[in-house]
Chain A
Amino acid sequence: MMTKAVRRQPRPVFDRLTSSHAAPVATMVFALLVIWYAACLPMNTDLPSMPMGGTLMERFTAAVALDRPVLPAPHQIAMELRTSVCGRLPEADSFAAAFFSCDLRWGPRNLLFHAWTTLSATLLGFLFGATLGIGLAVLIVHVRALEKSLMPWIVASQTVPILAVAPIVIVVLGSQGLTGLIPKAIISAYLCFFPVAIGMVKGLNAPNVIDLDLMRTYNASEAQTFWKLRWPAALPFLFASFKVAIAISLVGAIVGELPTGAQAGLGARLLSGSYYGQTVQIWAALVAAAILAATAIGAVGLAERLTAKVMGAAR
């Protein structure tokens, strides 16, 4: 009821795009593109497929159009992303019409298919990891002894390189007949429970002495203190942790696809790209992973803002 009175009209999308953020972001993107293109010639100049001699302009034009460059140009990656999602460029009146047409075919040849494969493992792993992290934090906050005894193990778990752990998990679970989604999700969970546990220990301990004393004067039970005080106080910390966790959960899912030479997933695309020297494909998969991570973090951010609104945040 109150929220209705306070709620502001959502600004139109166009309005947002043209807001004060737009100019600095556009400048930054432009600068990165310039540096990227400028780097293409020196990076690719020693390749045998480069023409001998020629003017600087001729050499540059060749360097950004190579089949297997060391550093592909941004437009090559954009074209690879387009063709791997929407199929080969069709015949059309204009380039723009052809570029923005789409013949979407679901299957292992489609990058979206691989992105979804990785995303499903990411989300499942995030779910496992978040649950585990929150559970550990609740235990640590309520059982004092565990802070000293459990915390070192939690920290130690993250000092082991995930690249060393991943094959073990895949092989061990594979021998038990578990393949595909679950092992990858477990590797994701192994990575992402950590920031959630650390953040939630901090968050659940966030209430100050007065807040806790107040509960004591009401003779509140542990459960009441948890749900009415500790949990709501911890939510800002939870969302901050979630943003880190969802990103590294994606890393975990990709790493989990590498050791078995999985047939599907962004990790599989990276691997096959490197087998065959398809640098453009590797970069396209990387960009897809980055977009996926940004989207996931954006979704967490949205959930955070919605929660803050319900909880009457001063915004």
Chain B
Amino acid sequence: MADAAVKRLVSFAEETGSTADLAAARPVIEARGLSLTFETNDGPVFALSDVDLTVNEGDFVSFIGPSGCGKTTLLRLFADLEQATSGTMSVNGVDPETARRRRDYGYVFQAPGLYPWRTVEKNVMLPLEIMGTPRAERRARAARNLGLVNLGGFEKKYPWQLSGGMQQRASIARALSFDPKLLLMDEPFGALDEIVRDKLNEQLLRLWSETRKTIVFVTHSIPEAVFLSTRIVVMSPRPGRIIDIIPCDFPRDRTLDIRETPEFLKVARRVREGLRAGHSYDD
């Protein structure tokens, strides 16, 4: 199984260029010269500086970097939860605000953020209630998406009755409930232990290949980024910027076993070198 997966490995280019397959795809997110400066009492903080990035349809793009490198901020810019100081950006061909108003994306936060007074099912139905989806349709979609994250049978439980990993899965089902083409995920598994995280990574990968969504994923784990992504964006702090974009075209049906392969380790090393080059751990 793992061997077959490795054999089908697409040879990846050393430079940041995309493969022919990706070049043909439609861009979902395009950012040009994106900068964000926070004015604080101690002077300006350059959260992001001159970011150029294209995320194509069907991509799984991971942002990796140390704390303060602006990876979460960049995700929040795409989601219109933060406004850029300069530069241009489009999400699904429109500006982020229009995209947000059209509910073009689902957002998964660092914490599950389930509302404790709602059952798991009602939490998943929350966006549908807001969008005015009919009741029967809400139930059907909740059931389908809870099944997708292996939470069938937990509909009537309250969040406190679920483990941390299950809660985060419920929050993913919630983000998927209204079937957005784009999924923005901000360190969704950051608070979970490694065993649970591995399992969820596999599930997420399966979900990604089944639903054909475009996923933008923030993490600070190198193995997670290499295992999940089609492209890894390495970022560095002060000012937050992109220092490397690494293509990472393992086949879609990869398993955790590929982490032992030389190809995997090669990409991981390049990510680590990129992080080191950004002097990200020096200060």
A residues whose Cβ falls under 8 Å from a Cβ of B: 1-2, 5, 210-211, 213-220, 224, 228-229, 232-233, 235, 311-312, 314
Given contacts A210-B111, A228-B126, A228-B129, contact A217 B117 (CB under 8 A): no
Main secondary structure, interface of B, reads: loop
Query: When the two chains form their complex, are residues B116 and A312 in contact, meaning their CB atoms are under 8 A apart?
Result: yes
Chain B positions 73-88 with a Cβ under 8 Å from a chain A Cβ:
79-81
On chain A, the residues within 8 Å of B103 by CB distance are 217-219
Contact with A along B227-245 (1 / 0, CB 8 A): 0000000000000000000
Stretch touching chain A among B37-45, B155-163, B247-255: B155-163
| Residue in A213, A219, A228 whose CB lies within 8 Å of B101 | A219
- Decide if B281 is an interface residue (CB 8 Å cutoff): no
Query: When the two chains form their complex, are residues A217 and B105 in contact, meaning their CB atoms are under 8 A apart?
Result: yes
Chain B, Cβ-Cβ closest to A308: B117
Chain B positions 118-140 with a Cβ under 8 Å from a chain A Cβ:
118-119, 126-127, 129-131
How many angstroms from the CA of A5 to the CA of B119 in the assembled complex?
Answer: 13
Query: When the two chains form their complex, are residues B81 and A211 in contact, meaning their CB atoms are under 8 A apart?
Result: no
- Decide if B107 is an interface residue (CB 8 Å cutoff): yes
Query: When the two chains form their complex, are residues B81 and A2 in contact, meaning their CB atoms are under 8 A apart?
Result: no
Main secondary structure, interface of A, reads: helix
Given contacts A211-B113, A228-B129, A232-B117, contact A217 B107 (CB under 8 A): yes
Query: When the two chains form their complex, are residues A211 and B157 in contact, meaning their CB atoms are under 8 A apart?
Result: no
Chain B count of residues within 8 A CB distance of the other chain? 28
- Shortest A225–chain B CB gap in Å is 9
- Shortest B274–chain A CB gap in Å is 29
How many angstroms from the CA of A1 to the CA of B111 in the assembled complex?
Answer: 28
- Central interface residue in A5, A211, A312, by most chain B CB within 10 Å: A312
On chain A, the residues within 8 Å of B130 by CB distance are 215, 218-220, 224, 228
How many angstroms from the CA of A235 to the CA of B81 in the assembled complex?
Answer: 27
Query: When the two chains form their complex, are residues A2 and B158 in contact, meaning their CB atoms are under 8 A apart?
Result: yes
On chain A, the residues within 8 Å of B109 by CB distance are 210, 213-214
A and B contact pairs by CB, cutoff 8 A, 20 listed = A2-B158, A5-B156, A210-B110, A213-B81, A215-B130, A216-B81, A217-B103, A217-B106, A219-B100, A219-B101, A219-B102, A219-B103, A224-B130, A228-B115, A228-B129, A232-B115, A311-B116, A312-B117, A312-B118, A312-B160
How many angstroms from the CA of A209 to the CA of B162 in the assembled complex?
Answer: 22
Contact with A along B136-180 (1 / 0, CB 8 A): 000000000000000000001110100000000000000000000
Q: A214-B113, A218-B127, A233-B115 are in contact. List 15 more A-B contacts (CB 8 A).
A: A2-B157, A214-B109, A215-B130, A217-B100, A218-B103, A218-B126, A219-B101, A219-B103, A219-B130, A220-B130, A312-B116, A312-B118, A312-B119, A312-B160, A314-B158
